[in-house]
Amino acid sequence: MRGEPWSVGSIGASGRIVVASAIAVAGAACGGSGSGSHADVVGSGPDGREGACEATTALTESCGTVATGTITACGQDSGGQPSQTGYLEVQSPDGSKTYVCATSWTPDGSGGYWFDHPEQFMSDPQSCCGGTATPVAAPTAPKPAIGYLGALHAPRDVKPQESAQPGNGPLRQDSFAVAVVDSSSAAAFQAALANWNAWAGDGMAHPAPDGSAAYYFPKFVLINYTIVETRDGVPVIVIGPEVSTTADGMSPLGHPTLGTCASGGGAPLVLMAGELNGTTLTNHSGRYGHDASVTQDALDNASKLFNCRGIQVTKTTYYPPKP
């Protein structure tokens, strides 16, 4: 059940968002809520606060505080391509591992591993490679103080370019992503956004801040975010541009690469994922938008979280779960 420490149970598109004007920093304002297209998200309590803006500090152990993920193919075909079956290994902050089975593989930049049942977790990876099924409950985490933000859930698919090697290795980290835990990191995001906006559509490969590689910014840059959760129940906003590894923009790094661990591991589990357009927040995600736990109320609470952290949200647009 939610409200307990991180644990693993024993059994158990349209609306694309582009970079608009610079995003306003809202200081510590924490209040209001969005709705199917709710507007005027403002604080209403003392000092403009409503709800719980819990104090946060920098992530000093970001690689062990939230879940990380690794893609593994069950084998290779005669041409060296990953097998049609594989799995996503999810390592929770407590060190336990669970597995989500991949059911098909497509090699191009818009393909990758597809998960027919991302809600089903196994305790043994061989369950995904022809072995006996070993179902377990999905990992859980404490309910955030800000309010319900959805249940932890895995992606529907992972693209070839989103792991260290196509079909194998840790989920990559979007090197431009910013983990927003306070007003200082929100200001860092705003400063970075100005650069992303300036680079949009210039056809140049821009080195990542960590020097790991260079990436291309399409003419219309999506600003993606995930909300991941620490083992102590603190929600962390990870926000960044959807950059491409190729000049044609056909190999983008999407939501699964918005984790907190710089060395890799991405975001195999999120409470919510979506896009930010100016001061409008959505839950639009082709990867994570399938999960029924992400409700309008959860999105409303996410808007409060953004305002708490220092990124102003004045409106939400809700997308019902995809089948």
What is the tens place of the pLDDT at every residue in 163-218?
A: 999 999 999 999 999 999 999 999 999 999 999 999 999 999 999 998 888 999 99
The pLDDT of residue 109 is 77
pLDDT of residue 45: 31
Does residue 262 surpass a pLDDT of 80?
Answer: yes
Conformation bin of residue 186: beta by default, left when phi > 0, alpha when psi is -120 to 50: alpha
Q: How confident is the model at residue 9 (pLDDT cuts 50, 70, 90)?
A: very low
pLDDT band at 143 (very low <50, low <70, confident <90, very high): confident
| Intra-chain end-to-end CA distance of the chain, in Å | 24
Q: Which residue has the higher pLDDT, 71 or 3?
A: 71
**pTM (2 d.p.):** 0.85
- pLDDT on residue 123: 98
Q: What gap in Å lies between CA 264 and CA 118, rounded to an integer?
A: 21
Whether pLDDT at 224 is above 80: yes
Helix, coil or strand: residue 77:
coil
pLDDT on residue 141: 82
Segment 75-86 shows an average pLDDT of 94
Strands 280-282 and 315-317: parallel
| Predicted local distance difference test score (pLDDT) of residue 108 | 83
Type of residue at 291: D
DSSP H helices in the chain: 62-65, 183-199, 296-309
List the structure tokens of 151: 């249940």
- What percent of the chain is predicted at pLDDT more than 90? 72
Coil/strand/helix, residue 239? strand
- Cα 122–chain centre separation: 21
Evaluate if residue 308 carries a pLDDT over 60. Answer: yes
Q: What is the DSSP string of 78-127?
A: TTSPBPS-EEEEEE-TTS-EEEEEE-EEE-STT-EEE-S-TT-EESSGGG
On the question of pLDDT at 303 being above 70, the answer is yes
CB 272 within 8 A of CB 227: yes
Q: What is the pLDDT of residue 54?
A: 64
Say if residue 282's pLDDT is above 90: yes
What's the angle, vertex CA 229, arms to CA 294 and CA 231, rounded to 5? 135
Of 233, 177, 267, residue with least CA distance to 54: 233
Mean of pLDDT over the chain: 85
- Which pLDDT does position 40 carry in this prediction? 38
Structure token pair of residue 261:
């661990």
Computed from CA positions of residues 13, 140, 67, 235, in that sequence, does the dihedral angle turn out positive or negative?
positive
What is the rounded distance in angstroms from the CA atom of residue 299 to the CA atom of residue 282?
A: 7
